[in-house]
Structure formats: C-alpha cells, structure tokens
Structure 1
Amino acid sequence: MDTTRVSSTAFDGTPHAPAHARKFVRQVLGEWRLGHLAEDAVLLTSELVTNAVVHAGTGIELTCRLDVESSPARLEIEVDDHHPAKFIDTADPAPMEAMRASGRGLALAGMLADAWGVTYTRTAKRVWVRIELTDTCEPQDLAGTPAPAPVPAPVESLHLAVLWCDRDGVVQAWNSEAENLLGWRADQVVGMPLHELVAWRGHGPYAPALADTLSLGRWRGEARMRHYDGSLVPVYVSHLRPKGQRSAVWMVVAADHRFVLAAPPTPLRREAGTRIKDLLDQDMPFSELLETIARIVQVSSGGDAAYVLLAADGGCRFGVAAAAGTTAGLVGVLATGVFRPGRRAPTLVEDLLAGDVELAGRLRARSLACAPLLVSGEVTGYLVVTAAEPGCFDEELTVSLQHIADQVAVPVQRERLAEQDRAHRGRLSFLAEAGELLAGVHDEELIAALTAQLVVPKIATWAAVYLTDLAGMTRLAHVWHSEERHNADLRKSLPAIPRTALNEVTWPAGQESVLSFPLLTQGRSHGALVIGRAEPALPLELADLLGDLCRLVALNLHTAMLYARQATTSRVLQRSLLPMRVATPMPGLESAVVYEPAEEGADVGGDFYDLFTVADHWCFALGDVCGSGPEAAAVTGLARHAVRLLAKEHYTVADIFDRLNQALLEEGEDGRFLSLLCGELTPLPQGGALCTIASAGHPSPLLLGADGAVRPVATPQLLLGVEADARFYVESFTLAPDDLLLCVTDGVTERRNGDRLLDDGDGLARLLSGCTGLSAHAVAERVRHAVETFAKEPSHDDMALLVIKAAAALRKVR
C-alpha cells in the first residue's frame, strides 16, 4: 500500500505569500501529527518562499510530501516558481525590503534540513528541503497502518568501514574493516574514483548527485556499494567534510547496522529551538546575533514584526535591542506592565488596545506574544512577536517561542556581557572625542555642525540639529548626510521652523527610520538632534550613547549661550569706556589713534585715549591703568570720564591731575595706579599751537620737528593714586607747522624681545626720526607695525598711541 502523503497549495508571488505558506505548513504538519517538526519546517518554508517572491515574483506552488516507506521516513517541502530570472516590483516596498533583509535561506537549509537542493527546468525552478524522521516516529502514527518494528542485526557481524577521498572523489585511504565489509583490499581501491564503488541512486526525485553530496559538510543516508565479487551491498553511510578542508570521510556499515551511525531520535534531536541554537552558535557580531534571533522569531511565528528586548536600568525595565519585519522605528525603553522582571512565563495578548494603548501605538500592533529570556532564574530580556490585527496568535505559538527563548537566553547573555565591556570602552572613547571636539567652542552654529558630523556616518545615515533660542523660537541650524550631495535635498525636506513642539513633529517618511533626541540641560531645551537610520530600530546601547551625547551637546550650547550673553554685555559696557568718535577734525591739525588691548576678544583694557574740543582749544589725554582686563577697565572708565568732565568745566591740566588723584585714592583699591598724559592745544595767530602738557608717571611724549630732530617735551611726575599730598605742574611748548607729537603708553616703549625692549637706547626716538614728512596716520601705522614685528610672540600688554601733527595755521574754534 502506498503510504506517501502529499499536500499542495498555490498562491500569487506577493509579499504576503510567506505568511500564507507558514500557515499552510503548520496546518498540514498538525494534521500529520508532526507538530515537533513544525518550527524547523515553518522556518525553512518561509525562507524558501521569501526567496522565490524576491527573485521570481510569479505564482508559487508549495508541496509537502511525507514518505514513510523510505528508511528513515522523510518529510520533503518543495517550492516551485516559473521565472527564476525575473525580479518583482511592488507598490508597497516596505514588506519587500523587510524580506530582502534576511539573506539566510541557504544557511538555514544547510543547518536545519538533512538535505536540500535546486532543480531547474526550462520554465521553472524547484527548491526542496528534506527532514528525516528517525525510528522513534512510529509508522502507524504517520501512515495509519501498523508496520513491523525493524530487528537490528547482531553486533558480532558489525564492520565499521572508514574510507577517505580527496576533493575529486578519489579514494586515498581504506581501512581493514572496509575490506571485511566489501572484500576490496586497500591497494586495490586507493586511487580509484569513488563513483566506481558506489551505485548511487539518490534519495527521492530531487536528491543531489554523488559529487554534490561529497561537497556537503555533513550527510547521512542509505546507498549501495559494489562488493569485490560484483554484488551490490546495501549500506548506511555517514559522510563528513571537516570545515575548511576539501577532503571527505565516509563511515560505512551494512544497512542492518544503520542504527550505529543513524542520527539521534527526532523528538530529542528536533525539539523546538535546538537547531536554531546550532545556527546561533556560529561566530558572529553581537548585533548580528540579535538581528538573526529577531528574524528567526518573526519568520517562524508568522508575525508582522519581532523584537529582542534586553534588560535596562538595573534590570527593572527593558529596551529594544534588535528588530525584524515591519517595525515602528522603536528606540529606547518600553515601560509597560507586559514586560516586567517578575514575569517568568510566556504571555499572549489578544488585543493590545484593550490593555495598553501606549504600547499598541508604539508597536503599531494589536496582537502580541512574548517569552522571557531566563538566565539562572532572572529575566534578562524578552522575545516578542507582534501583528497588526488582533487575535493572530495562539497558545501553541507561545510554547514554541519559549522553546526558542530557552535555547538562546544563555548565549545572548554571555555575548551581551562581552559586548557591554567593549561598548563601554567605545562609548567612553566616543564621548571623550566629542568632548574634546566641542570644548572651548562658543559658537552655536559650529556646535550644531560638529554634532551632526559626529553621528554621521558612525550612527546614522543623516542628522539634523535644531536650535531653540532664549525667546523659544526653534529653527533648523544644520544638516549633514553621509553622501554630501544629498545635503541640499535633506534641508528642503525638513521643516525649517517647526510649527509644533519637536517631540510632536511629523518627520518626512522615507527609507530611513527617523528618531528625535532632545537637547536638554538644567531643565531648558536647547533644541533637538534628529537622525535618520536605515535600520528599523535603534539598539539600546546606541540609544544610551546618543542620550549622553545630547546632554554633552546641550551643556556646550548652554555654555555658548552664557558666553554670548556675557560677551554682549561686556562689549556694550566696554564700548562706553572708549570715545564714540574722535573730536571734530581741527582745521590745520591732523590726528591718528591706534588702540589694541592685549586680552584676546576684549575691546578695552588698562590703556585709554581721548581727544575732544573745549571752548577755543582742544584737549587730549592718554593713560595707562596698572594691570589689564575688566578691573583695569573700571579705572579706565573713571579716568577718561573724569578728565573730559573736568576739562569741560574749564579746570586746568594741573587741577585735573589733582582732582583725579583724589578720586583714585577715594576708590580705595590698593595697587591700582594710573599713569596719565594730558594736554591742551591753543591755536596761535602765526600758525601752529601752544601745547600745555603734564605727565603723571607716563612715558614722555616725543616731538618730531620739521628738520627731523626728536626731543621729549614733558617731564614724568608721580603716578596718580599714590599720594594724597602730591602736587602736579604743567609744561608748555610750541607745536609749529609740520611738527608732529607722538604720545604712547608703555605697551609701546616696553615691548619685549627676550632681554631687549623696543625703547632701549632711545629706540622709539630713532624710529620717529625716520618719519619726517609722513602724515599722522602713516606715522601711527609705522609705529604699530614696529611694535608688532619687534618680537615673534604677541604682546602681553595693552597698547595705545596718539599722533598729532600741525599742518597749517590753526583757526579758533567757535
């Protein structure tokens, strides 16, 4: 009686075909009482149908064949398509992209099936896999008719033949037991092609040829070998091709002794998840391991999406570590009652909307089944499968899911601990690099640009940084794509000024999953970092890393904001310490000013100048406060405004010095002295001007005559702010037409180059003597250049210089 069972179905080559195929195979195996094979069979079927859909796109035929007459009984699954070279296009690219992501069809076939192969015809392609059933599967359970139990041959007649052949199938070794079994001596068969000793008939209509079998890593099955006397001996062969080697070893026994080499019983060997564990034992990166697990769970369960959750925050909550299928771009931790540390049994949720609306929205799913990953009684994570429609899963699925979870829990935990150690070192290195790059940057725009380039392409395909100002206005500051030519298009696709809060913005849909991370520090939002990734979900470790990076960026943005605010305040205040403009040009008098504070970024230091008109004459002042920076600038403001105010009240130069000296002493700041040069210019009828001048500890001004002679014109007196009883006097000289007066602070005379000063040996006077005939501006520039180039190192002192030149007869000021 024919005991072969066959069940077939056909469906269109659409992205929904794998789901229909999984359901069909699970139903057929249930009817045939082969539920213990369902996980492997469904997984293999899903991969084969997926490959057919992706690479053919035609109608597909699926056939399940159970042959109980063969020894051992076997289950064969065949997938036929009709145009093996055609590629399918679909209006909905998301499912197709999800299917293309697997790429493990042949690996699964080689791992889960006892044999597999591909048969081509002119119009079709057939891919098949075979799963053998061992003697523990009783024939009456499979075919419905009892069969006599096989009687094993006596052990005394056992001969275990071992032969070895090279990559071309030529026999290289032959043991004595092979001679006892088949009658050939070693010297007769060594060098003989193996196909001359084997009457190969294959197993089933689509079994591989002998040469293909020799190339497999492992194979077991029946064959017939030629005896020396010409007869054919039924044998059982266990073929092994060691990994990385091109030779093959055959262990051969008589067919009656097949139990010696046969595989372990199916219920023990094929318990759900054990072959999956073999697949996952391969050496692969941790992220790929998790993605493989998620893919296996999604494919074998028939769900729309699957996730691997791992414990986070000390094991109290669980975060998405990997995902497969049509996912929602999940990131971070799922805080929900479905996943909790105390739940040590699989869970089935018929409709998420009835119990957890938030989780249903994040997963975009209604049905959910999950199984905990248990290590030493502790829940270290979950395997989760979801579907968009309610009521898609049953209790049988949760049992299978728990079998898989039990097999992968320990390998995952072991690899995760190792990965956490590596990730911790990489995380510290990345954050250190980011901190060093952002340190000292006080420009918000530059911080945004550096942040985007830090995460692309290491973490994301593209990144955008939004900045929020003090008024609460948010704008797109910078975008960066891994392919720079897409930067302009990316900027156009993102909202330049979001109309809603950043956590409520609907980002443009595309091939990448878009995720947003707030830039928060001290309770204030400075904007957000938005990234696009090709992967559907962000691993928990990367989510934590991006969270740390965003906190670092937000802190730098906060510092930049404070710096900008302080710089603006200082700039406004410091500007008030300098004259807004030099006095109205005086007829017949030319003036030029150079002012350079030593502190980088400062507008005002300890030096100051002023030039203004009072009634029928002009006043000028040049001073230097002891020290530099804000403290010196405060005294600078007092001195400059006091000089101008007293001069406007018609105080003489000597009186101005007396009053200012008292004011500085009343301020009470120890060691805060002031050197000051102050003078008045009164026009003379014959041309030129009468200059009345006084110097309180200031470098003497130099007068350059029309004949090129240079002489000092004021005697230094006591510094202001030293003694309350100090009295000051004035000196006068005539500034004739074409005469030039140079007034400088000690930032010029004491410019240092090693042990030398610029004014050593009357260096400044010699410099000025070469300026005969030059304008006031030209002289000022020449002196400035001389100070700058006197030494390679920049000056550490403030510098101010004032040049006044009489060009013609002065007219009285009205």
Structure 2
Amino acid sequence: MDTTRVSSTAFDGTPHAPAHARRFVRQVLGEWQLTHLAEDAVLLTSELVTNAVVHAGTGIELTCRLDVDADPAKLEIEVDDHHPTRKILEAEPAPDSTRTSGRGLALAGMLADAWGVTYTRTAKRVWVRMELADGYDAHEATPAPPRTAPVETLHVGVVVADRDGLVQSWNPEAEELLGWRADQAIGRPLEKLVDWRGHGPYALSLADTLDLGRWRGEARMRHSDGSLLPVYVSHLRTKGQRCSIWMVVAREHGYLLTPPLRREAGRRIMDLLDQDMPFAELLDTIAQIVQMSSGGDAAYVLLAADGGNRFGVAAGAGATAGLVGVLAPGVFGAERRTPTMIEDLLAVDVELAQQLNARSLACAPLLVNGEPAGYIVVTAAQPGRFDDELTVSLQHIAGQVAGPVQRERLAEQDRAHRGRLSFLAEAGELLAGVHDDELIAALTAQLVVPKIATWAAVYLTDLAGMTRLSHVWHSEERHNSDLRKSLPAIPRTALDEVSWPVGPETVLSFPLATQGRSYGALVIGRAEPTLPLEVADLLADLCRLVALNLHTALLYARQATTSRVLQRSLLPMRVAPMPGLESAVVYEPAGEGTDVGGDFYDLFTVADHWCFALGDVCGCGPEAAAVTGLARHAVRLLAKEHYTVADIFDRLNHALLEEGEEGRFLSLLCGELTPLPQGGALCTIASAGHPPPLLLRPDGRVEAMAAPQLLLGIEAGARFYVETFELAPEEVLLCVTDGVTERRNGDRLLDDGDGLAALLSGCRGLSAHAVAERVRHAVDTFAEEPSQDDVALMVIKASAALHREGAPSPGLRSAGSGATRATREGDGFSATEPPHEVRP
C-alpha cells in the first residue's frame, strides 16, 4: 500500500501569502504528527514563499509530501510559481556583498537536508527536504483505511462543466446514478440539473460555487424521472481551462468523498483569521464554512453575553431562524466545557428546538482560559443526523478560532461601544424636547432605517391600554403604503404574541417599556436572518430611550391639558356685547404653549352699564397666573355687587396684601361705561400704576385720560379715586399693558417720544378691530426678536348712530365666531358695527 501523504494548497502572490503558508504547514504537520519538525518547516516555508512573492508575484502553489517508505522517511516542501525567468542565486555571496536577492535560501542550506530548484517551460519549483529522525513511527502517520461502503449501490458520477456552467462530460456512472444519458445531459446548463438552495445573505449561489477552487457538500440533483435525488458533491475547478469537475455520489455514500471536517474547514477558517475583514463578516463566514462542511441545515456562532453566563447568536448560516438576542439557558451553559451531540433536541429542550427549528444539534465551546466564551453550533431539522466524529471536529475548529475570535470580539466590542454611544447620543439629541408621541414614533422609525433595518414600524399604547400602529418607514419610500396595509393597525393580541406577516425580511419586535409600563413596540424587518448581539443591545438601549421620551411626552400632555383647562378658566369665555359701542381685544401671552400669562382682561355687563378691566401682574408663570385669576374674578364679583370702581380697587388691594406674597403687585385699569341718549357713553375710570388709556378724537388728536395711581398690593392704607369723561361718537379709547408700551428694540421702546399716541393718531376713521390689528402689528414688527412680555390691549369705539328703544341692535362678533347678531332689549342703543375680539 502506498503510504505517501500529500497535501497542497494555492495562494495569490500577495503579502498575505507567507502567513497563509505558515498556517497551512503547521496544520498539516500537526495532522501528520510531525510537530517536532514544525518550527524548522514553518521557517523554511516562510522563506520560500516570501522569495516567490518578491521575485515572481504570481499565484503560488504549496505542497507538503511525506514519504514514510523512504529510508530514512522524509518530508518535502515544494513552492511553485509561474515566473521562471529569474534564477535563484546560490547561497554563498561574498561576505561584503550588499545583494539581497537569494539570501533567504541560505536557510535552506542550514536547516534542510537538501534543497533545489526545478525549472519547466511555465513554472519554477523551489523545494527543500527534511529527513525524519531515527525512531519516527511511520505507522502513526499512515492514514487509516476508509470505512467500508455498500458497494452494490455505489455509483461515482463524474460531471464536467465549462466556465459557463454547461455540461461537457457525463460518465456512465452519472447515468446510472441520475438516469440521464450522456447525449441528454451534455450541453445542458448544470443549474437545470441541480436544485441549488442557498440560505441566508452569505449563502453561495451555484455560479459562485462553480467559481471556487474546491468545495464539498450536500445538494440535490434532478433525476430523469423528475424526482430530486439527495447527493454528495466533491467539486474541483481546473486552473487552465477553468472547467468544473464534479464527483457525485448518493448522500449515503458521502463519507467516501468527505475529508475530515477539521482538516478541510479548519484550514479554510485559519486562512480567514489572517485576513483583514469586518468582525461580523468573519463570524458569518465561519458559520457558513462550518455549515457547508458539516452537512448540517444551519450553523451558528454563539458568543457570551451578560457577563458570560448566557450566550446569544452572533452569526448564522444555512436555514437559520430569525434569531435575536440571547438563547434560553440549558444546552448552552457557562459550566459546559466539552463538545455536545444531541440526537433529538425536542426531547431535551423544547423551547430551544422551536427557536432553532431543529431536532439534531452538535456544538463545541470556544474555550478561552478554560472558560467558554461562545459556541460553534450545527443543527439539522431531522433527528439523529450527527455523530461523535462531528463533535470532535467541531472542537478542533473551536480550539483554533477561540483565541482569535475572542481578541477580535473584544476589539469589536470597543468599537461597537463607541458607535453605540454615538448613535444613542444622536438619538437622544434628536428626541430631546419632543413632546408629541406621533413625532417621537416617526423619528424612531427613521433612526433605525436603513442603518439597522430594511423597514420599521412603531406601535403606541395609550393610557387606556389601546395599542395602535402609529408610524411605518421603509428604506424605499414607495413601499410605505403597502407596508402599512400588511401590518395590523390595531393588534388583537399582545405585541409579543402577534404573528407578523411573512415576507423576504426577518421580522423582530422590541418592547418600548420603562418603569414597569409598556408604551408600545418597535417592529423591524431585516434581510439578515440573525441579529448580532451588539445590534440587539443597541436596539434595546434605543427602545429604553424612546420609552422614556414617550413617558415624558405622556406626562407633558397630561400636564399641558390640566394647565390649559386651568388657564382657560382665568380668561373670559366671551366678551359682553355693548350696544352703541364696538370693541376688540388682542391678547398674546409670552412663552411657547402658554394660554395665560401675567396680563388679563375682562369686559362684562352690570345692570344698565358695562365694566371693563385690563391688568398686569408682576412676574410670570403659575404664581402670576394665580394672582391673575384672583384679580379678574374679584373685579367681576365686586362689580356685580354694585361696588364702585374706587371700592373695587380698595377691596382688591386688601385682598392682595392678605395673600402675603411679597412682590406680587398688580397694575390695573378699570372703568364703567354708561350709554348716553345722544350716543356714546360716559366713562368712569381709574388707573392703579397702569399705562394711561389714550383717547382718539375724530380730528386725530390723542389724549391720555387717567392719571396713574399707586400699584395694588403695596400699601394697605392707599386710597383710590376715579376720573370721568365722555366717550363721544366716533371716538376711540385704547387701553394697553406695558407689553405694548415697553416693547423693546435695542435701546428704544415703542412708546418713546409718545410713539403709541402717534401710532393711534393715524388710526382715525378705522373700526375698533382695525385699530387693534394695527397696534398688534406695530408691536410684532417693532423688533426682529419676539416679545418677552405678555401683550394685552383693548379698543372701545363709540358709534355715531342712534336707534329707538326696542330696536334690534347688533351683538358681539368675536374672532372666529361668525357674523352672528344678538338683540339686547331695554337699552335702545346699538352698534353700527359689531364689536370684535382679536385672539392670537
């Protein structure tokens, strides 16, 4: 029996080739039980390959050959390149020579028993020979005979396809196995004869597989009777003509073509570790190699999470389920340090079997310093698919990759941590200050698409526990409408129990919960079948951040509603109609989202006359609003009890002092309007520290009509007096707060140089509503910056027409209330134009 052992591989002529070669030789010598030669052999290999890269730069073929029948037994290492024009220099340059070419082969003379160079027309081969020491047991390195196969049913079909995938050769064994005659198969595309199934985003297509140098694995080929026959394929691509050669046997004979998993997959995985590729891609490729080499339906790489006590899916290949986060403990535990093979997972862990959609499972731990840092896992849908040999191979691979994967994982965790902090900081800044739950939902969906998911949907749960679909967002906006239709608008079950529509993406749901309450869920669709742990952690952090913002928005909405109801109670619901007079009011509190500030107004009827009030409380916020409510309601109540204006001031002054809050002063302008038979009204007015009212005469003159008195809430013994004047027809009375007179633009105030009086004088002939609008516009445009003070103004204009007693008189028309008219009986005075209330 020929006991010569040969193992070869090929590399591109790149700077990475020496590293690949060193790993390959170390692996081969370990399998041949020649580890005592490994150091010298690896050093020689490195020098030979480096020399070929430097001097040839072409593709390189490396061959290790062990001849145990020779006397003595010998190991040869050969390096072939495809650039024979440059000869290797001998290893004896002059001592003072500065030449560098050929120097490395001096090692061959020192470490090898023999070395040489062989030239052909197309290639150059440099080889070294190492004789094995005495006492070497050749039987230990002799391969064991293969397992006996049921030869009565064995057919080894040989199929050759060209670079385009067209069948060029079909041997009789392939005809016996698959039923197709050679004339039927030759010329057909190989893809028509193969039912090729790839799973996951990293699965290879048939065209990609044909382009590989070597590949082995399970597939299904079409029999001539139309059935699909499970087969095992050993694929080899020739270098010259680029043909693909397939050796095909029935699946039950696959072991005849299958090399030990640890030799084939282990070498490919170790080559990967020398390449500079993203960590996630590295794990996915490892999973793909293990899945294809083991013949399992799916393969996973699990990594430790939560301090190393539990393990989550970091990568998957094959028929993987939509897995996310951490798997249930049990089979994968921190105490398990040996390979495991489970023939029927359903009998051991029902939940895990459902999660993995598998019955057979084999796994091996990634041991780092004696502790499991993860697992390599292979699964199959049918029970009893794996044997103990597979677990040994998996453990061999796990031992090779554990250290490098852990180092890469730690580096990736550091990068992911920085990226997660940056992403969450961006999300927090974007969501900060947003108190609208609909806007929060829209921002959340757009944060994860397309960075993390292909599409996203946000469900919101209100205080009553009703859940509804709030917002959807797809990476291709034209699919937004279809996406919304495919998702339940109002789920009939809990969000963690909803059966999401099956589509090309894997659908995952994350709860939006904080402080023990659910505010909805974030649902995403991803093209990838699994979700890496780092992405799962990022989404969990994002969902907590969104839930906190939804909680804040809910509290803000509740507080805003309460505040709005209370604030509305501080303003009159409507302004009383005044026959014979028309009125207009402008009220603009400072501050966003504020309905009431420190300024207030009121206009109401008492018996046969009307009362009006305009005030300004010192300060702002809820405290000022409380004084506003006290003042407005006190004025109205005292006036209804027929107190005079002076008495109202006196009582309100005492009430403010009794409140006991220092600095809560109040400026107040209050007056009574009594209709006169000839038209107009008699005005009785008093001003407590308030800007004086201005009277616009028909000829354009403007006069201040009330002298300022002491502010209310300062002195208990203060006495107040009233002044009386007649508001004649066509005359306009303008009452404002200091938000108008003290409107600032740099160092200038609006009322500097009697600016407000000049403004009013230009309003001759205008209606009360038009006067109010002109003053409001002047205040708004006086400076570019918005006003920092409340603005309130009231305009009252006497009508020129007289109506007989009992005649219908126009009523009030307020902004937005329409042109309705009301009749007030018993007064005989009516307005020629209904009064107006101007609101912001």
TM-score higher than 0.5: yes
Residue 603 (structure 1) shift: 0.5
Please show how residues 6-405 of structure 1 align to structure 2 within 5 Å. 33=144, 82=186, 85=189, 87=191, 99-100=203-204, 105=209, 109=213, 208-209=239-240, 270=263, 273-405=266-398
- Number of matched residues? 619
1:268 deviation in Å?
A: 14
Q: CA deviation at 1:283?
A: 2.3
Letter of the 1:805 partner, please give it: K
- Taking a change above 3 Å as real, the CA distance of residues 272 and 717 of structure 1, as seen in their structure-2 partners, is closer
State the distance in 2 between where 1:427 and 1:510 align: 29
Q: Which residue is 1:160 aligned to?
A: none
1:689 aligns with 2:793: no
For the residues of structure 2 that align with 1:564 and 1:488, how far apart are their CA atoms? 29
Residue 663 (structure 1) aligned with residue 655 (structure 2) = yes
- 1:349: how far off? 1.1
Could you say if the C-alpha distance between residues 723 and 63 of structure 1 is closer, same or farther in structure 2, counting changes exceeding 3 Å? farther
2:621 aligns with 629
Deviations 1:314-361 (A, max 9, x none): 111111000011111000011312111221110011112222111111
> Separation in 1 of the partners of 2:260 and 2:494?
57
Is the CA contact (8 Å cut-off) linking 2:262 and 2:396 kept in structure 1? no
Match of 1:714 in 2: 706
Runs of 4+ in 1 over 3 A off after TM superposition: 32-36, 54-64, 80-108, 110-113, 127-130, 206-209, 266-272, 809-814
Aligned equivalents of 2:348, 2:551: Cα separation in 1: 41
Displacement of 1:444 in angstroms is 0.7
CA distance in 1, matches of 2:730, 2:291: 95
Whole-angstrom distance in 1 between the partners of 2:407 and 2:429: 34
TM-score (norm 1): 0.71
Deviation at 1:602, TM superposition (A): 0.3
SS of 1:618 mapped into structure 2: strand
**AA in 2 matched with 1:412:** V
Query: Is 2:571 the partner of 1:572?
Result: no
Q: State how far apart, in whole Å, the 2-side matches of 1:2 and 1:93 are.
A: 39
- Aligned ranges for residues 536-555 of structure 1 at < 5 Å? 536-555=529-548
CA shift in 2, pair 1:99/1:110, >3 Å: closer
Q: Does 1:461 align with 2:454?
A: yes
Deviation at 1:577? 0.5
Per the TM alignment, residue 460 of structure 1 is displaced from its structure 2 partner at its CA by: 0.6
Amino acid at match of 2:635: V
- 1:208–1:545 CA distance, 2 compared to 1 (3 A): closer
Which amino acid is the alignment partner of residue 366 of structure 2?
L
1:484 aligns with 2:588: no
The letter for the 1-side match of 2:570 is L
Counterpart CA distance in 2 for 1:440 and 1:744 is: 34
2:750/2:779 contact within 8 Å kept: yes
> Does 2:507 match 1:507?
no
1:754 aligned partner: 746
Aligned to 1:522: 515
AA aligned opposite 1:711: E
One-letter amino acid of the structure 2 residue matched with residue 579 of structure 1: P
Amino acid at match of 1:500: T
Counterpart CA distance in 2 for 1:640 and 1:448 is 42
1:95, CA displacement in angstroms? 5.4
* 8 Å Cα contact 1:329/1:513 also seen in 2: yes
| Matches of 1:344 and 1:60, distance apart in 2 | 48
Contact 1:615–1:813 (8 Å) recurs in 2: no
Q: Distance in 1 between matches of 2:791 and 2:399?
A: 78
What residue is the counterpart of 2:799 in the other structure?
807
Q: CA deviation at 1:691?
A: 0.5
Matched residues in 1 for 2:167 and 2:713: separation?
95
Please tell me the residue identity of whatever aligns with 2:576. A
Q: C-alpha distance in 2, partners of 1:95/1:82?
A: 29
Letter in 1 for 2:713: G
Q: Is the 8 A contact 2:612 2:671 kept in 1?
A: yes
Are the equivalent residues in 2 in contact too, given 1:521–1:551 (CA < 8 A)? yes
Give the deviation of 1:82 after TM superposition: 5.0
Shift of 1:101: 6.2
CA contact (8 A) 2:198 2:204 kept: no
Cα distance in 2 for partners of 1:498, 1:57 equals 53
Partner in structure 2 of residue 793 of structure 1:
785
- Change in Cα spacing, 1:552 to 1:322, as seen in structure 2 (3 Å) is same
The Cα of 1:60 is off from its aligned counterpart by 9.3
35 and 595 in structure 1: CA distance in 2 versus 1, 3 angstrom threshold: farther
In 2, Cα distance between the equivalents of 1:742 and 1:435? 49
Confirm or deny that 1:766 pairs with 2:758. Answer: yes
Contact 2:167 2:189 (C-alpha < 8 Å) held by counterparts: no
Structure-1 separation of matches of 2:501 and 2:261: 51
User: Structure 1 residues 56 and 742, CA, compared in 2 at 3 Å: closer, same or farther?
Assistant: farther
Q: Which among 618, 622, 627 is matched to residue 610 of structure 2?
A: 618
Question: CA 1:403–1:707 in structure 2 vs 1: closer, same or farther (change >3 Å)?
Answer: same
For 1:272 and 1:483, the matched residues in 2 are separated by 39
Deviations 1:621-640 (A, max 9, x none): 00000012221111001100
User: Would the aligned equivalents of 2:262 and 2:397 in 1 still touch at CA under 8 Å?
Assistant: no
The one-letter code sitting in structure 2 at the alignment partner of 1:105 is: T
| Percent identity of paired positions between Structure 1 and Structure 2 | 77
- Secondary structure (helix, strand or coil) at the match of 2:703 reads strand
Q: For the Cα contact (< 8 Å) 2:200–2:529, is it kept in 1?
A: no
Q: Deviations over 1:3-26 (max 9, x none)?
A: 9xxxxxxxxxxxxxxxxxxxxxxx
Q: Write the letter of the residue equivalent to 1:507.
A: W
Aligned to 1:333, the other structure's residue is in SS state coil
Q: Secondary structure at the match of 2:472?
A: strand
Which residue among 540, 564, 587 is the counterpart of 1:595? 587
Q: Which residue of 1 aligns with 2:771?
A: 779
Corresponding residue of 2:640: 648
Q: Show the counterpart of 1:556.
A: 549
C-alpha change, 1:771 and 1:272, in structure 2 (3 Å) is closer
Structure 2: how far apart are the matches of 1:268 and 1:568? 68
- The match for 1:148 is none
Secondary structure at 1:602 match in 2: coil
Contact residue 600 and residue 616 of structure 2 kept, 8 A: yes
Cα–Cα, structure 1 residues 637 and 105, in superposed 2: closer, same or farther, change >3 Å? same
* Maintained 8 Å contact 1:689/1:734: yes
* 1:613-666 Cα deviation digits (max 9, x unpaired): 110000100000001222111100110011111111111111111111111111
Contact 2:196/2:206, CA 8 A, preserved across alignment: no
Find the residue that maps to 2:663 and give its secondary structure: coil
Once residues 35 and 631 of structure 1 are traced to their aligned partners in structure 2, the CA distance between those partners, rounded to angstroms, is: 93
Q: Per-residue deviation at 1:591?
A: 0.3
Deviations along 1:659-681, one digit per CA (max 9) or x if unpaired, are 11111111111100000000001
Q: 1:705 to 1:568 in 2, by over 3 A?
A: same
Distance 1:59 1:484 in 2: 50
Once the two structures are superposed, residues 506-538 of structure 1 have per-residue CA deviations (whole angstroms, 9 ceiling, x without a partner) of 000011110000001111100000000111000
Distance change in 2, residues 1:105/1:283 (3 Å):
farther
* Alignment root-mean-square deviation, CA: 3.4
2:465 matched residue in structure 1: 472
Pairing 1:426–2:457 present: no
Normalised by the size of structure 2, how large is the TM-score?
0.69
The equivalent of 1:535 in structure 2 is 528
